[in-house]
Structure 1
C-alpha cells in the first residue's frame, strides 16, 4: 500500500466518525509500529467506522466469557494483547471496503469531460496534463487512474479541472476517469519508443523504475545487456529485480487477433535465483498476452495469459511451457481468430481460445529476473504484413 492509500483510508474514517486521523497514523497502525495502544480518539474513530459508539463498546462486543470468570487484571492483559492487533485488522478491512466495494450509485456520468496532452512528444518519463470536468456528475468520490494499475490513482474534486501525472514507463496506457468504482470515461495514452528501451524495477508492487542507458545493446549478435552496463547505471544486480526490454512502435497496424510471433531467447542470471524465468509479452491496445517460462522444477511459478484466459501454474499443469531458460530456445506464438497456439522448439505446448477484443498490437517485450539475450524477433500479421523483424 502507498501513502496515498493510507490517506484515503484516513479520509474514510473521518467521514464516518468526524475524527481527523492522519494518513501517517493509519500507516503506523497498519504496520504495527506502536509500543502501546493508540490514542482513544483514534480507536473511537475505528470503532465508529464499524457502527460502534466507542472503542470500549467495540471491545465489549468481542468478549466471549469462558466457563471460568477471569479477574479484572487478567482481562485487562487479555485486552492489551488481543486487541493490540485490532487496528491492523480494521485497516485491512477498511482498505478492502474502500477499494473494492461500490459506495453508491453514479448519475450523470455522461456529462463528464476528460482529455489530456503530453508535455513532451514521447520522452520517458513523460508528464501528462489531464483536463476534466465532473461538476455535474453525482458520486461519492472521483479519481484519475493513469493505467491498469489501481495504485496509480489520483483523487480529484469538483470545481477543479486540471491534474498532472507522470508516466515512468513507455507503452499504450488506458487512463480512466473513475466515479466511485466505475470508469465513466477512458483515454488512450500512447507513449511509444520506436526503439528498444531498457529498465529495471525492484518490485512490481512498489514500481520503483530505474532506467538503463546503453549506447550499445547488441552483445555477440543478440539483443541484450551486460552486468557491466548495469553497474554503469548504478543498478544493484545483487537485489531481486525484474529487467524489462520493451519496444513500442509509433504506428500500429497488426490486429492482435491474427498474427504470428517468433523469437529465440535465453537468459543469464545476475544473482542466485531459485526460479529463473523469462516472460514473453505482447502488448495490445486492450490488455496483454504474456507467458512466463521457467525451469521444470518451478512450474508452479509459470503462467500464461491470452485475453481473459489466465492460466497459473499453481492450479494448472504448465510443465509443457517450462524449459532450461539458460539455453537458447525457440518460441512461436500464432493467433488466428482469437485462437492462440504456442510452440516451443517446434512442438505445440499450449492452445486456448479467448473472447476479449484486444484490438491492435501495441508493442513487445522481454521480462526476466536475469538478463535476457534475444537472438531474433519476428512479428507478422497473418496477411504477411511485418510489424517488426530483427536478427540483431
Structure 2
C-alpha cells in the first residue's frame, strides 16, 4: 500500500469508527463532524472539505504534515511517520515479487535527470501548500447589533506573517458561508442568518488556525424553514403567536402568510438560545412532550431534538418504525445511525404525543421514551455549556412541555405552555 492509499484507507476507517459506512451518503456536516473528532484527539483542526477530498482520494500530493499527524494522532500515534512505519512495510515485499518489471533502478538514469526529478519533488512537496507561522495570526470579532437576526459581525484579523497559499473565514460548520481573505487587509463584515452558538474559523490552506466563539442568542423562541440543505436557504417565519391549541407550535396558515411554499420538502426549526449559559453540557436533565403535524405527505416523517452545546452537539432523530434506518442519535463523538445500528427502540408514531427524557451525568447519556430506557452511551468530548435547544422536523412540531435543568436543579428553560 502506497502512502496516498494509506491516507485514504485511514480516513475511511475513521468514518467507520464513527458510524459512517458509506462516504457517498455523508453530508458536509458529517465531514465537519469528523474534523471535530480529529481535533479532539490531536488539537489540529481540519476542514470538512479536506477530509472529504482525502476520503475520495482527490489529491495528487500528500497533505500537509499537520493533517497527516492529526490522522496519526487519532490512532494514538505521535506522528504520521510513526503511523505509516507499521503500515506501509506490510506490503512492499509482495509487490516486488509480483511485478519486478515495473520497478526502476535509479543507477540507470543520467545524473541531470536525477537532479531534475529530485529537485521537482522537493519543490512541490516543500513549497506548494506549505503552512508556516500560523501561531502569528490574530482573529477576533464584534457584533454590529446586539442580538438581532440577521446579525452583521465584523471580523478583525492579521495574517501578514502567515505563510500559506490561501486564506478564508468560515462562519461556522457550514462551508457555504466561507469567504476568502487576503494579506494586507484586516477586516471582513459578514452576516449570520441564524441564531445560535457559532464557532467562526480562520483557515489557512485547508487548516483551521484560529477560532472565535460567536454567540447570537434569542432569549425567545425563533422559527425558520430551510428549503434546501445543500444551499441552506433560510426563510424566517414571523408570527404574532406561537401557541397552537395550548402547545408551542405553528399552523400551516402561518407558513402561508410568510410565503413558505408548503408543497416543497422543508425542515422547520424551532430554536431557543439564552444569553446566559451556565448549565454544563455533561450534567443535565431534559424532559419534553412532543408530536408533529405533517405539512405535506412524507414517507418518513421525523422529529429531531437538538441540544446545542458550546462544543460538539447532542441530537436525536426519531421517526416511524418503518423508517428506522433514517433515525440517529449523537452525543459528543458517539454517533449512531439507523443504517448501521438497531435504532428501532427510539422509533414511535411521531403524530402522537410522546414523552422524551434525556439525562446526562458525567458524560453518560440515557434516553427514555414514555418512561422506558431505550438508549444509552458514554462519550468523551468536552461539550462545555449548553447553548440552546431546538426542535426540527419535516412537519410542524407541537411541544406540550419542556424542562431543562442542571443536575443540581438550576433551570435553563421550563414551560408547560
> Fold match, TM over 0.5?
yes
Distance 1:181 1:344 in 2: 42
Please provide the CA RMSD for this pair: 1.9
Q: What is residue 184 of structure 1 aligned with on the other side?
A: 209
Aligned to 2:345: 320
Is 1:371 the counterpart of 2:371? The answer is no
- What is the CA-CA distance between 1:338 and the residue it aligns to? 0.3
Alpha-carbon distance, 1:240 to partner: 0.2
In structure 2, what is the Cα distance between the partners aligned to 1:346 and 1:94?
44
Matched, 1:306 2:321: no
1:143 aligns to what?
A: 168
Is 1:273 aligned with 2:298?
yes
Q: Tell me by how many angstroms 1:139 deviates.
A: 1.2
* Residue in structure 1 matching 2:276, options 236, 247, 251: 251
For structure 1, which segment, 330-339 or 173-182, has the greater mean C-alpha deviation from structure 2 after superposition? 173-182
Q: What displacement does 1:214 show?
A: 0.7
Aligned twin of 1:261: 286
Distance 1:152 1:383 in 2: 39
Query: Separation in 1 of the partners of 2:246 and 2:59?
Result: 52
CA distance, structure 2, for counterparts of residue 257 and residue 182 of structure 1 = 29
Q: CA deviation at 1:96?
A: 4.8
1:49-88 equivalences in 2 (<5 Å): none
C-alpha distance in structure 2 between counterparts of 1:309 and 1:384, whole Å: 26
Asked if residue 286 in structure 1 is aligned to residue 303 in structure 2, the reply is no
Question: Residues of 2 paired with 1:362 and 1:101: CA distance?
Answer: 35
Inter-partner Cα distance in structure 2 for 1:190 and 1:95: 36
* Structure 2 CA distance for aligned equivalents of residues 95 and 264 of structure 1: 45
In structure 2, what is the equivalent of residue 120 of structure 1? 145
| 1:334 aligned partner | 359
Aligned residue for 2:175, secondary structure, equals coil
Residue 344 of structure 1 is matched in structure 2 by 369
For normalisation by structure 2, the TM-score amounts to 0.70
Distance 1:339 1:135, change over 3 A: same
Provide the residue aligned with 1:12 in structure 2. none
Alpha-carbon distance between aligned partners in 2 of 1:97 and 1:265, rounded to the nearest angstrom: 46
1:233 CA drift (Å): 0.4
Quote how far apart the aligned CAs of 1:151 are.
2.4
* CA–CA separation in structure 2 for the residues paired with 1:94 and 1:204: 22
Any idea what SS the aligned residue of 1:325 has? coil
Which contiguous aligned blocks of 4+ residues in structure 1 show a shift greater than 4 angstroms? 91-98, 100-103
| CA distance in 2 between partners of 1:101 and 1:243 (Å) | 39
Equivalent-residue separation in structure 1 for 2:374 and 2:56 (angstroms): 43
Q: For 2:316, what is the secondary structure of its paired residue?
A: strand
- 1:228-250 per-residue CA deviation (whole Å, 9 max, x = no partner) reads 10011000111000000000000
SS of match in other structure, 2:325? helix
- What residue number does 1:75 align with? none
1:203 is aligned to 2:201: no
**TM-score (ref. length: structure 1):** 0.74
Deviation at 1:177, TM superposition (A): 0.5
Q: Does 1:214 align with 2:239?
A: yes
Alpha-carbon deviation of 1:94? 11
Q: Deviations over 1:289-324 (max 9, x none)?
A: 000000000001001100011111111111110000
Distance in 2 between the 1:388 and 1:104 partners?
A: 48
- For 2:57 and 2:202, how far apart are their aligned partners in 1? 20
2:218 to 184, 193, 196: 193
1:10-36 deviation line (CA, Å, top 9, x unaligned): xxxxxxxxxxxxxxxxxxxxxxxxxxx
Q: Is the 8 A contact 1:101 1:181 kept in 2?
A: no
The structural deviation recorded for 1:105 is 3.2
- The residue correspondences of 1:15-30 to structure 2 (distance < 5 A) are none
- Seen in structure 2, the aligned counterparts of structure 1 residues 205 and 92 have a Cα distance that, compared at 3 Å, is farther
User: What does residue 230 of structure 1 align with?
Assistant: 255
1:271 CA displacement: 0.2
Distance 1:141 1:251 in 2: 37
Partner of 1:130: 155
